[in-house]
Structure 1
Amino acid sequence: MIIRRTLRVPAIDGPPGDGAAVARQLDATLLGVGFTASRELMEHVSGLEPGVAMDLAVRVIAAVRELVGDHVRHNSYFIGFPDDVPDTVEFWVSCLRDALARAYGVKVAKRELRARLRTLPVNLLALPWYGRYRHTYAELLAAHDELIASAQDRITVLHLGGALEQEITSLYLRLAGSVTPLGEADLAILGELAVECLDGEQPESVPVRENRAVVNVARLAAGRPLAGLDTVTDVLRVACAASAGDVSLQAPTRFRSFRRRERRALLAALDRVVADNRGKLADVTPHARRWQRLGERLHPHEHGYFPHAREVFAVARGDRKARSLAGRVELAFASGDVRRAVKLLSAAPGLLLRQLDRVLRKASPDDFGEVLTALSGALDGVSGRVLCSVREHLVNRAEPDAVRVFVNRNRRAWTTDDRRPPLDGAVVARTAGVLDAELARRLPEPARLVVDPVVLALALPLSGKASEGGFAIMPRGSVTPVRGELLRFFTYWRQATRRTDYDLSALLLGDQFEYEGHVSWTNYHDGGAYYSGDITDAANGATEFIDVPLADMRARYVVPQVNIYSGEGFDEVAESMFGFMTRDRVRRGRPFEPRTVRMRSDMRGSGRVALPVVFARGEDGSWSAKWLHLYVRGASWGNRTEVNQVSTAMLVRAVMRREYLTVRYLVELLRRKAGSYTAYQPGMSLDQPVTFVGVERPDGLPDGSEAITLDRLNELVPE
C-alpha cells in the first residue's frame, strides 16, 4: 500500500549481502511495466542478502503491476484487435447464423435467415458466439508481435523511502493532517493507519471533519477519549464511521449496536459540545432522522449524568425547538434586508463564504462596501480550501452561461439551466482581490522554488472526492497533453455475484459539442476509431478497448464512457477500472501494454454511466485530456451511448467551458514570496535544497529538499 500510494519503497532492515544481480533483474522487470528504480533504491537492494532482496523485489513488482492494471489478464474479444474488427451488422449476422446452424445442424441460407429475422425476436446476449471470449489469453499473446521499444514509453521512478514504520507514520500524519477532504480510497487507508499509529505520533490538528471522524473511530474502538469534536455533527460522523456507514452523511447509515463503553464515550462527547455552546443544538435539525435512529442505539435515557446530550435527542424528536442560523438568514433575505443577512452570516464565516454569490447578487452598490468589510473580517475563520473554492467560483461568474453543472460528493453529476444573472465584473475583481491577498498571506516563503511547468495546468485538488484512486490520476478539471499517434482507452471489470455487462463506448462531438458519431457495441467503428468487441459476462474478468487514431479523428471531442448495460454497479463489482494508453501505430504489441499506460483509474461511483475524461483537439491539431471523474445516474438497465448522448454532450460542454483554479494560481502567489524561482527542465542539476513542485519527484534532488508531487498537491493549499 505504501508503494502504490507514494511510489516509495520502504527500506528493509535485513541481513547485508550481495543483491546486485537481484537489483539488476528488478530494474529490468520494472522497465517492462514502465517503471525504474532510483539510484538509492538500486543501492539498497544491491546491499541486501539475495533472498531478502528477492522477497523485496517480488513485492515491489506486484505493487506497481497492480498500480497500472497489469495484475489481471486483459483479453480482447477480437483476437487481432484492432486489425480484424468486422462490420457490426455482418458480425451480428454471423453470430445468428452460427446459432441457427447449431440448432438445426445445417448451414442456414441467407433467404431463410432473412425470413426468420422478420418473424422471430433476436436476443444477442443469448447467441452462443456473442459476448464471450472465443480464445484464451495465451492465444491472444501468440497472435500479436512484441511491442517495439520507444523512447516515448512512460518511465516512472520508484524512490527509496525510510523504514516501514517511518513511512507508515509519515503517510498517517499527511492523510490525517490534510487540509482537503480525502477520497474514499484514502479514507480507507487513513482508517487502517489510525489503528496502526494509535500509540505513535499524532498530527497537531485534523482540519477536515471527515478525516477527524475516521481517526476517532480508532480511538473509540480502543477506549481512548475522542478528540477534536466541537459540533454535534462531528459526533454523528464518528457514529456513522464506526458503523461502516457514510462519514460524509450523504447516504443513510444502519447504526450497529455499540458497546456500553462506546455509548458512554459518544454521549460524553455530545454532552461536552452542547455544554460549551447551547447554540450547537441548531445543528441537530438537518439530520434529525439520523439522530433519532442513533438514539435508539445509544439509549441516552439510561445516562442521566449527560443532561446536555439528552437535549440533542429532544431536539431530534421535535420535543424542543432550536432555530438555526440558516433559518434566520433566510428570513432576512426574504424581507430584502441584505445588510441584516450579512450581519448574521458574519457570525459563521464559512456560511458567509458559501452564501457569497447570493449576497453579491442581492447587494446594492451602497451595500457592497459593507459586504467587503464583513468578508475581510470573516476570512481568518475560513479554511484555505474554502477560500480557493470561492475564488474558483468567482472566476466563472462574470460571464453568463446557459448551463449550470452540479457534482455531489459521490461524483454524481447533473446539469440544469443557469438562471442566475452574472455578477458585475468590477464586483468580481474587487472581491477576488480580497481573497488573493488573504491566500498570499497564508502561503509560506520558500527560499528556492523549482517548478515543473507541466504541473501548472493541473487543477488544484480542493477535495479528494473530485478524483479516483489509481495511477497518475489528475484532479477534475486538469488538462494534460496527449502525445502519440494512437490513443487506446480500456475498461476492465470483474463481477462479484451476478452476471454483469459493462459497455465501453466513445461519443464523438464537433466544435459546438454537436453529435458527430459514436463507437460502441452497436457501432464497431466510426471516424477512424475501432471497438474491440462486446463482453457480456465477467465472472473471470473482462476487458474492452477502443482505438482512436488521433491524426485521422475528425471529431473535436472524444468522450469515453462506460455504460452499465446490466448487472452490478461500479460500487458493487469485485473490481473495475478505466485507463488509457498512447503509442505509435508501427509499434504493434498486445492490446494492453503496461509501459504505455498513461493513467489507470478505479471506477467506484454510484451512477450507471461513468465519464472519466474527455479528449480534445486544439486549434493547432494537438490533443489534450481534461479530467472529469464524473458519473451520471443513467437507467437501471440498458444504458447506451445513443440514448444519453444529448445529456452527456451538455455535461461535457459545461465542464470544458468552466475555468478551474489551477496550480499556476498558487505558484504565482508563491513566486512573489520565494527567494528565487526556477522552471525545472529534465536533467537539470540542483546543488542546494529546494522546494520542488511537479508531477513526479526527479531523481537526485539535494538532501533537505521538499518535493510536492502529484500525490501531495493538496499540500499547496494553505490552511
Structure 2
Amino acid sequence: MNFIALKRLFILSVSEGPGISTANKCVLQAELASMGYRLTNPELLDRASETFFLKYRDTMNFLKSLRGGDVDYVPLFTGFPDQVPEDNAYFARRVMGYLGNRFDMFEDGTLLESGIRVPEWLFDLNAFGADPITQFQVNSLWEQGVTDQNARETEERVQWIDLELVFEDTASDRLRDWLRAALYANASVKEEWHDDLSELLTLFGAKALDPNQIAQKENLALVMRLLWREGYHEDAAGLAQNATDLLRLFAALTDSNISLATKITFPKFSRPQRRAVLGVLEKQRNLAEDLNRYRGLWLEIGRYLHVSEFHKTHPHTHKAFDLLRNGKVVTFNSKTEKLIADGLVTELLHHLEHRPGVLARKLHELLRRFPKKTTAILAAFERSAASVTAKNLLVLLHYFQSINESPIRTVVNKRGKMKVLENNAVQGMTPSQVDQTVALIREQLTHRIAEKESWVDQSVWIDPDLEHYIVPLQQRAASDGLLTFGRGSQIPIDEGKVLRLFVYWKQTARTTDLDLSLIQFDETFVYRGHVSYTNLASDGIVHSGDLQSAPRGAAEFIDVTLDQLPKETRYLAIQVYRFAGEAFAEMQAHAGWMVRKKVSRRYRGFDIKSVVNKFDLNGTGSYCVPLVVDLKTRRAILTDLYMGTRAFYNNVEGECGNVAKAVQAIVGYRESRPNLKTLAEIHLAARQGEIAQSETADIRFGVKEADFNAHDTATILADLL
C-alpha cells in the first residue's frame, strides 16, 4: 500500500508516534535530497514514529526505481560526451578487429571473456564499457564501467519532486479516493494501473465501491474478478450488462488483455460457475448479436460452457450459439450499412436512435453523405444525445471543430500504436454544416456538465498554461512513468544547458539490441539530419555509442546542447528502435530524459536528481517515439507512441518518413484534441462559477497544487467527465 501511495500520489506514509530523532530526520531528508525528492511538510516528522525506519531501505530503493536510479548505466564510450570517436575511423578499427580475430592475426592484447582479443594499439579498453569490436557486453568491462561511473561527480542541478508526509489513516483514505476515481473514470485508465487497482480492491473490498458509477467496462472487470475469486460467482456475473462484459471477466481471471485487443485465454469452469455465466447470457435481449462481436472467442468458450447441456433451462442462449455456429446472425451494424447504402435516411435515423453511441460515431459520415438531410440528422442526434457520455461529446466537439483544417488525421488504437491517415473528409462538410453541428454538440455538452454540482457563488481560477495539456482520454496503453499527462501535452523544459536522453534495457532470454536515435526536422517537418548508431554526432548532438547486447543491462545516451543546434532545426523526434531480440514488453526496459547543467566525463552519465521523466517501454511496435522537443517553444511534447510492424532491423533510415508524419500529427494535437483549459472553461460556464485570481479562488485548475491538477488523470476522468 505504501508503494502504491508513493507511485500514484507522491505521498509518504508514516505511523504516528513521539517523533523521529533529529539524527534520523537529517538522514531521511539528506537521502531524499540526494535522489531529488523533498518533503513539503517535514514538520510532521515531529509527530511520527521511528518504526518508519524498519522499512526505510525498501522505501528508498522504491523511490530510486521511480526515477530509474535502481540500475547501473554503463555506456559504450566511457569518455562520453567529451570523447566520442569519429564514425569512419571507429568503424575501420572495428573491421580490423573482426578480421584480426577471424583469422587469428593478433598475438598480443587483452583476451575478453567472449573470446575476442583486443590489441592495445587498436583500442584502449579503459575507454569502453563493452567490447569495442562486437559492441557486446562483457562482465569485466561492465564492472569496470560501473566502478568508473560511481566514482564520478554528481550534477549540482536538481529536478525536484515533492513528497507529502501523511499518517497511515490518511494514506488509506487517499488511496481509497484514488481507487474510486480511477475506477469511476469515464475513459480508459492505464493498463499498468491494473495491478495496483486490483491490490487496493483486495485491501478495501468491493463494498468500498458503487458498481453503478463504474463507467468503463475494463474497470468493471476488475471488480467482477474480485467477487468471482471470493466465490460470489452470481454477483460477479450479474454485474455484466452484455456478453462482452463476461469476456472481459474471463480475461481478467486469466490475466489476459481486458481490452480484448489481443487473444485471451479462458478459465476452467465448475458446473455452478457455468450456470452463473449462462444465467447472465440468458437474460440478454440481443444475445446472438453480442456474441457475434467476438465470434471466434465465443465459439471457443462455448465448448467450455457446454451450452447444449443446458438447452432446456437456457433455450435463448442455446439458440444464440446455434445461430453463431451457423453464421446466421443479423447484426445491428450490417442493417445500418444496408440502410446507408440504400439511402433510406428516415429509417436509418430511427434505427440508430436505439444505439446513441453508434449514431454519434456515424454522425460525420451521415452529414457528409446526406447533406440535404442535415436538419433531420442533427435532430435525431439531439434526441439521443442524453445517452452519449460527456467524454464522447467532448471528443466530437473538437473533432468537428478541426475537421476542415488539418490535412492529416491520426488514430491511436488500444495498444498505443498510431496510424497517420490523409484527411479525406476535408471536402466533406460545408461550413454551415460544421457550425450547426459544433453548436449542437457544445449545447449538449454544456447540459451534461450542468448536471454536476453547481458552482454558483464559487470562484474559479484556471491556469492559462493548461492550454498546453491535453485531456487524458487515451490512457489505456500509455506508458507508466513519473509524468502522467495526456498524450500530446507540452511540458516546459526547465532552464539547463543540455537535454540528456537515455534508454536502458536488460534482456531476459535472447540477445537484444535497442537503439536510441534522434531525428531533426525544420518548421515544415522536413528532415534536417539525425543522430543514431549510424551517425554518432551532429552539431550540438552526440551519442554515447551502440550496445548490441544487454545481459547485465545496457544504456545509451544522447546529449542535446540546446544553444548549439542549427537555426533551421525546430523539432527533435526521439525514437527507440528494436533492432534485434526481444520485444519491449518481454524485458525490463525504460527510457526518459534529464535536464543537465554540467556534462563532461567528470560527471555521471545518469544522475537521478536531474531526471525529468522516466517511463517504461512496454508497447507492441517495432519502435517507440516517446518524445518530441519543440525548440522554438522550449517544450517537450509527450508522444508515447509505438509504431512499425517489422520484427527486426529497424532504424532511422527506414522510418524517417513515418516519423515525420507522426511528429506533424502529435504537434497538431493542441488544435485537434481537447485541452484542459478548454475543459475547465466549459465547467466554469456550465456550472455558473465566477472567474477569479489564483490567490482568492475557491476552486483551482492548475498544472500542480490545485483542486484539479493536470497530472491527476484519475480525478480528471472521474470528476470532470
Q: Are the aligned partners of 2:248 and 2:258 in contact in 1 as well (CA < 8 Å)?
A: yes
User: Taking structure 1 as reference, are residues 157 and 454 closer, same or farther at Cα in structure 2, changes over 3 Å only?
Assistant: farther
Give the corresponding residue for 2:572.
558
Q: Find the partner of 2:683 among 670, 673, 677.
A: 670
Q: Find the partner of 2:584 among 570, 578, 600.
A: 570
Give the corresponding residue for 1:632.
643
1:332-411 to 2 correspondences below 5 Å: 332-365=339-372, 367-399=373-405, 401=407, 403-411=408-416
User: Taking structure 1 as reference, are residues 670 and 642 closer, same or farther at Cα in structure 2, changes over 3 Å only?
Assistant: same
Distance 1:287 1:634 in 2: 24
User: Taking structure 1 as reference, are residues 254 and 155 closer, same or farther at Cα in structure 2, changes over 3 Å only?
Assistant: closer
User: Taking structure 1 as reference, are residues 586 and 629 closer, same or farther at Cα in structure 2, changes over 3 Å only?
Assistant: closer
Q: Are the aligned partners of 1:489 and 1:580 in contact in 2 as well (CA < 8 Å)?
A: yes
131-140 vs 99-108, which deviates more? 99-108
Give the corresponding residue for 1:84.
83
SS in structure 2 at match of 1:469: coil
Tell whether 2:539 aligns with 1:527.
yes
Give the corresponding residue for 1:238.
249
Give the corresponding residue for 1:35.
37
Tell whether 2:583 aligns with 1:599.
no
SS in structure 1 at match of 2:586: coil
User: Taking structure 1 as reference, are residues 192 and 271 closer, same or farther at Cα in structure 2, changes over 3 Å only?
Assistant: farther
Q: Are the aligned partners of 2:16 and 2:167 in contact in 1 as well (CA < 8 Å)?
A: no
Q: CA deviation at 1:101?
A: 5.1
Q: Structure 1, residues 526-564: CA drift from partner, whole Å, max 9, x if none? A: 232111111111122111111111122222211110000
1:262-661 to 2 correspondences below 5 Å: 262-272=273-283, 274=284, 277=285, 279-303=286-310, 304-318=312-326, 321-365=328-372, 367-399=373-405, 401=407, 403-420=408-425, 421-443=427-449, 444=452, 445-446=454-455, 447-465=458-476, 467-483=478-494, 484-554=496-566, 555-573=569-587, 575-585=588-598, 589-618=603-632, 622-658=633-669, 659=671, 660-661=673-674
Give the corresponding residue for 1:118.
none
Q: CA deviation at 1:633?
A: 2.2
Give the corresponding residue for 1:714.
716
Distance 1:179 1:191 in 2: 18
Q: Are the aligned partners of 1:407 and 1:413 in contact in 2 as well (CA < 8 Å)?
A: yes
Q: Are the aligned partners of 1:22 and 1:57 in contact in 2 as well (CA < 8 Å)?
A: no
Q: Which amino acid aligns with 2:560?
A: V
Q: Which amino acid aligns with 1:668?
A: E
User: Taking structure 1 as reference, are residues 455 and 594 closer, same or farther at Cα in structure 2, changes over 3 Å only?
Assistant: farther
Q: CA deviation at 1:312?
A: 3.4
Q: CA deviation at 1:708?
A: 6.9
Q: Find the partner of 1:201 among 170, 194, 208.
A: 208
Q: CA deviation at 1:289?
A: 1.0
Q: CA deviation at 1:59?
A: 4.2
64-73 vs 99-108, which deviates more? 99-108
SS in structure 1 at match of 2:582: coil
160-169 vs 321-330, which deviates more? 160-169
Q: CA deviation at 1:344?
A: 1.5
Unaligned runs of 5+ in 2: 110-129
Distance 2:204 2:272 in 1: 22
Distance 2:592 2:9 in 1: 19
Q: Are the aligned partners of 1:448 and 1:676 in contact in 2 as well (CA < 8 Å)?
A: yes
Distance 2:89 2:710 in 1: 53
Q: Are the aligned partners of 1:448 and 1:674 in contact in 2 as well (CA < 8 Å)?
A: no
Q: CA deviation at 1:280?
A: 4.0
Identity of aligned pairs, percent? 24
Q: Are the aligned partners of 1:179 and 1:714 in contact in 2 as well (CA < 8 Å)?
A: no
1:112-123 to 2 correspondences below 5 Å: none
Q: Are the aligned partners of 1:15 and 1:49 in contact in 2 as well (CA < 8 Å)?
A: yes
User: Taking structure 1 as reference, are residues 162 and 515 closer, same or farther at Cα in structure 2, changes over 3 Å only?
Assistant: same
Q: CA deviation at 1:305?
A: 2.3
Q: CA deviation at 1:490?
A: 0.9
Give the corresponding residue for 2:125.
none
Q: Give the TM-score normalised by structure 1.
A: 0.88
Q: Are the aligned partners of 1:99 and 1:127 in contact in 2 as well (CA < 8 Å)?
A: no
Q: Are the aligned partners of 1:9 and 1:60 in contact in 2 as well (CA < 8 Å)?
A: no
User: Taking structure 1 as reference, are residues 302 and 172 closer, same or farther at Cα in structure 2, changes over 3 Å only?
Assistant: farther
Q: Are the aligned partners of 1:692 and 1:708 in contact in 2 as well (CA < 8 Å)?
A: no
Unaligned runs of 5+ in 1: 109-124, 699-704
Q: Are the aligned partners of 2:14 and 2:167 in contact in 1 as well (CA < 8 Å)?
A: no
User: Taking structure 1 as reference, are residues 292 and 307 closer, same or farther at Cα in structure 2, changes over 3 Å only?
Assistant: same
User: Taking structure 1 as reference, are residues 33 and 400 closer, same or farther at Cα in structure 2, changes over 3 Å only?
Assistant: closer
Q: Structure 1, residues 584-606: CA drift from partner, whole Å, max 9, x if none? A: 34697322122211111111111
Give the corresponding residue for 1:252.
263
User: Taking structure 1 as reference, are residues 60 and 126 closer, same or farther at Cα in structure 2, changes over 3 Å only?
Assistant: closer
SS in structure 1 at match of 2:584: coil
Q: Which amino acid aligns with 2:259?
A: S
Q: CA deviation at 1:695?
A: 2.9
505-514 vs 445-454, which deviates more? 445-454
Q: CA deviation at 1:324?
A: 1.8
Distance 1:663 1:517 in 2: 34
Aligned length: 676
Q: Which amino acid aligns with 1:105?
A: F
Q: Are the aligned partners of 1:172 and 1:197 in contact in 2 as well (CA < 8 Å)?
A: no
Distance 1:377 1:399 in 2: 29
Distance 2:417 2:613 in 1: 21
User: Taking structure 1 as reference, are residues 77 and 567 closer, same or farther at Cα in structure 2, changes over 3 Å only?
Assistant: same
Q: CA deviation at 1:458?
A: 0.6
- Structure with the bigger RCO (C-alpha within 8 Å, sep 6+) is 2
Distance 1:69 1:679 in 2: 38
Distance 1:679 1:606 in 2: 45
SS in structure 2 at match of 1:589: coil
Tell whether 2:228 aligns with 1:220.
yes
Q: Are the aligned partners of 1:180 and 1:714 in contact in 2 as well (CA < 8 Å)?
A: no
Give the corresponding residue for 2:7.
5
Distance 1:312 1:132 in 2: 58
Q: Are the aligned partners of 1:578 and 1:602 in contact in 2 as well (CA < 8 Å)?
A: yes
Give the corresponding residue for 1:49.
49
SS in structure 2 at match of 1:245: coil
1:99-114 to 2 correspondences below 5 Å: 99-100=98-99, 103-106=104-107
Q: Which amino acid aligns with 1:258?
A: F
Q: Are the aligned partners of 1:20 and 1:47 in contact in 2 as well (CA < 8 Å)?
A: no
Q: Structure 1, residues 292-326: CA drift from partner, whole Å, max 9, x if none? A: 1111112222334233332332232127x432221
Distance 2:399 2:416 in 1: 18
Distance 1:515 1:592 in 2: 29
1:93-242 to 2 correspondences below 5 Å: 93-100=92-99, 103-106=104-107, 128=133, 130-132=135-137, 134-135=141-142, 136-141=144-149, 144-149=152-157, 153-160=159-166, 163=169, 164-198=171-205, 200-203=207-210, 204-224=212-232, 225-226=235-236, 227-242=238-253
RMSD: 2.7
User: Taking structure 1 as reference, are residues 198 and 413 closer, same or farther at Cα in structure 2, changes over 3 Å only?
Assistant: same
SS in structure 2 at match of 1:630: strand
Give the corresponding residue for 1:66.
65
User: Taking structure 1 as reference, are residues 146 and 222 closer, same or farther at Cα in structure 2, changes over 3 Å only?
Assistant: closer
